[in-house]
Amino acid sequence: MAVVSPIRQPSKVVYPESDGKPMAETGVHVQRMVYLITALNGRYAENSAVYVIGNIFVYYEEGNPSKVVSPDTFVVFGVPKWERRIYKVWEEGKFPDVVFEITSKKTRRTDTRRKPVLYAQQGVQEYFLFDPLEEYLDPPLQGYRLVGGMYRPIGPSSIFEGSVAVESQLLEVVIRQEGSWPVLYDAQTGERLLTPEELLVAHRQAETRAHQAETRAHQAETRAHQAETRAHQEASARQRAEEEIVRLRNEVERLRQEQG
């Protein structure tokens, strides 16, 4: 009797969500990463087709979990803004458009050699590096734009003369080095991008100012009404006084006529 071997089902490919390593090199790197993510999320809060995140695995070859990279911060245009545990390029339809790496001496080789090659191959249009501790990168803030399949340095922005600053054409922001921070500004208005927390505080402050203005307007209206009431009372009093004077004059005149 022939032995029939069971048909083996292909094993399901597992795409891990974490490698167990720390989020970033130091707390300084984490803070700068979080700032970029939150500030850019604030900028695109009303746009449901812009996805901003960082420090999650981006898998770029279906069926091969080893083909993975984890940008510190990245922006994707044209994909839904929902929460993801990992990002699969073949499901999303595209690789991120803009990538930021908060680099360090330890990640130097990866950030300046391996990742730029990969990002260029995958079509990342703009790539920014920031070295907050100034361990090796000179200047600490650098930007690159994909031109003809290769990265070309982005020249310094003229918007902030005297400071290290580069402009992202895709994001329409200027990234400016302020001490150990990569601060984002709107390229058109020059205003600093607020994080969602700062936007909430600004909204509350605006509501408070509006309420205070409304209160002052109400108080002014009340004072005007009170002044109008007093003026009316004073006019009535003057009229009564004038009438009393006329009455008294008439009375005096009547008494004189009687005595005469």
pLDDT digits over 17-34, tens only? 987 665 556 899 999 999
Helix, strand or coil for residue 150?
strand
User: Which of 193, 227, 251 is the last residue in one of the domains?
Assistant: 193
Domain identity same for 61 and 43: yes
Residue position matching structure tokens 């984002």: 184
Give the chain's mean pLDDT. 86
Domain identity same for 254 and 134: no
DSSP symbol at 199: H
Q: Bin 216: left if φ > 0, else alpha if -120 < ψ < 50, else beta.
A: alpha
Query: What percent of the chain is modeled with pLDDT above 70?
Result: 83
182 and 33 Cβ atoms separated by less than 8 Å: no
- What mean pLDDT comes out for the span 205-233? 67
pLDDT reading at 79 higher than 70: yes
Domain identity same for 45 and 156: yes
**pLDDT of the residue at 223:** 79
**pLDDT of the residue at 141:** 96
- What mean pLDDT comes out for the span 132-156? 95
**pLDDT of the residue at 3:** 52
- What mean pLDDT comes out for the span 202-212? 55
Query: What percent of the chain is modeled with pLDDT above 90?
Result: 62
Q: How far is CA 170 from CA 48, 107, 152, 167, 198, in A?
A: 17, 26, 15, 9, 23
User: Which of 152, 174, 193 is the last residue in one of the domains?
Assistant: 193
pLDDT reading at 105 higher than 70: yes
pLDDT reading at 144 higher than 60: yes
Domain identity same for 91 and 199: no
User: How far is it, in rounded angstroms, from Cα 24 to Cα 163?
Assistant: 26
**pLDDT of the residue at 152:** 97
- What mean pLDDT comes out for the span 65-80? 97
User: How far is it, in rounded angstroms, from Cα 229 to Cα 82?
Assistant: 60
Strands (E) across 64-164 are located at 68-69, 73-77, 87-88, 98-102, 126-130, 141-147, 150-153
Q: What's the CATH number where 52 sits?
A: 3.90.1570.10
Q: Determine the structural domain holding residue 189 and report its residue range.
A: 27-193
What DSSP element (H or E) covers 210?
helix 196-259
Question: Residue 184 CA to chain centroid, in angstroms?
Answer: 9
Domain identity same for 150 and 164: yes
The residues pairing with 88 across neighbouring beta strands, listed in sequence order, are 59
Domain identity same for 139 and 241: no
Strand order in the sheet with 68-69: 68-69, 58-59, 87-88
Domain identity same for 35 and 156: yes
- What mean pLDDT comes out for the span 116-127? 98
Terminal-to-terminal C-alpha distance of the chain: 160
Domain identity same for 167 and 219: no
Question: Between residues 93 and 197, which one has the greater pLDDT?
Answer: 93
**pLDDT of the residue at 115:** 97
pLDDT reading at 211 higher than 60: no
- What mean pLDDT comes out for the span 79-93? 96
Q: How many domains does the chain have?
A: 2
**Phi/psi at 119 (5° precision):** -65, -40
- What mean pLDDT comes out for the span 41-58? 95
- What mean pLDDT comes out for the span 139-159? 92
Domain identity same for 180 and 198: no
**pLDDT of the residue at 229:** 76
**Phi/psi at 200 (5° precision):** -65, -45
**Phi/psi at 5 (5° precision):** -80, 140
Domain identity same for 189 and 240: no
Contacts of 99 (CB under 8 A, 6+ apart): 71, 72, 73, 74, 115, 119, 124, 126, 127, 128
pTM: 0.73
Question: Residue 57 CA to chain centroid, in angstroms?
Answer: 23
Domain identity same for 38 and 155: yes
User: How far is it, in rounded angstroms, from Cα 83 to Cα 231?
Assistant: 65
Q: Indicate whether 151 belongs to any domain.
A: yes
